[in-house]
Amino acid sequence: MAPERADASLAHYCIRQTGRHLLLLVRSPGEIVNPLLFFLLVIILFPLGLGPDPEMLSALAPGIVWVVALLANVMLCMRLFADDFADGSLEQLAMANIPLAVAVLPQLLASWLASGFLLSLVSPLFGLMLGLPLSVAPILMASLLMGTLIMLLLGAVGAALTVGIQRGGMLLSLLILPLYVPVLIVGTRSLTEAVGGGDPAVALALLGAGVTGGLVLSPVAIAAGLRVSLEL
């Protein structure tokens, strides 16, 4: 007889899986550092392309920050399930005796911590480089925290559907970029309001609503997409 297991609960499983994915990310730091470097490099490109005029830069900064965050997120999604699909971890995840929609949450959490969360933490730095006043840093961080999570949840659906396709990267961007439009609009809005002395509360509330809706709906779609990819 197998001994009675105290750790057989769902919560322990999720914690263990989150740990697994965080450990994997730490063991290959490029996965974390490269998107951040990409973010920084592209941010640098804008002043070089547009000219160093601080006023113009700060006017464009909200849009620049969000477009670049969006692109960094697409890059992340291209890799999101690729390794796990190739080495069989994904099919084993589907074999766990819990709904796949729940089983993917740890990986999403780990990926977000290593990408969107870190990005939000360092974002005030990028904001300063683009001439955003330090006073909008909290809004910048809050909006990026929520916005990157929504984008990851949406992007993961596309990633799940394209993970089995050879060279699915471009296809993935075609699938998910249109879905990112509301996040881009609302996220940028929160910043322009904050910069212009307006009230960013509406935009932030909309982002919060997006996080809630995304957390409820997208795991189901991600699981369905992964099941389709596992059929290949």
In the bound complex, what is the minimum distance in angstroms from residue 58's beta carbon to other proteins? Answer: 18
Residue 23 in contact with other proteins, rule: CB under 8 A: yes
State which residue, 53 or 87, has the beta carbon closest to other proteins: 87
- Residue 192's CB is within 10 A of a number of other CB atoms, namely 17
Conformational region of residue 192, where left means phi above 0, alpha means psi within -120 to 50, and beta covers everything else? alpha
* Residues in region 163-192 near other proteins by CB under 8 A: 165, 168, 171, 174-175, 177-179, 181-182, 185-186, 189
- Residue 96's CB is within 10 A of a number of other CB atoms, namely 13
In the bound complex, what is the minimum distance in angstroms from residue 42's beta carbon to other proteins? Answer: 22
State which residue, 39 or 191, has the beta carbon closest to other proteins: 191
In the bound complex, what is the minimum distance in angstroms from residue 41's beta carbon to other proteins? Answer: 26
Q: In terms of C-beta distances under 8 Å and separation of at least 24 residues, what long-range contacts does 54-61 make, across chains too?
A: 54/131, 55/131, 57/130, 57/131, 58/130, 58/131, 58/132, 58/133, 58/195, 60/130, 61/127, 61/130, 61/131, 61/132, 61/191, 61/195
In the bound complex, what is the minimum distance in angstroms from residue 229's beta carbon to other proteins? Answer: 8
Residue 217 in contact with other proteins, rule: CB under 8 A: yes
Residue 33 in contact with other proteins, rule: CB under 8 A: no
- Judged by CB under 8 A, the residue of 95, 121, 134, 201 near other proteins is 95
Distance CA 116, CA 145 (A): 6
Q: And the tokens for 181? A: 């439009």
The CA-atom distances, in angstroms, between 134 and each of 147, 194, 207 are 20, 11, 22
Binding residues for other proteins, rule: CB under 8 A, are 2, 5, 7-8, 10, 12-13, 16-17, 19-20, 23-24, 27-28, 84, 86-98, 103, 154, 157-158, 161-162, 165, 168, 171, 174-175, 177-179, 181-182, 185-186, 189, 217, 221, 224-225, 227-232
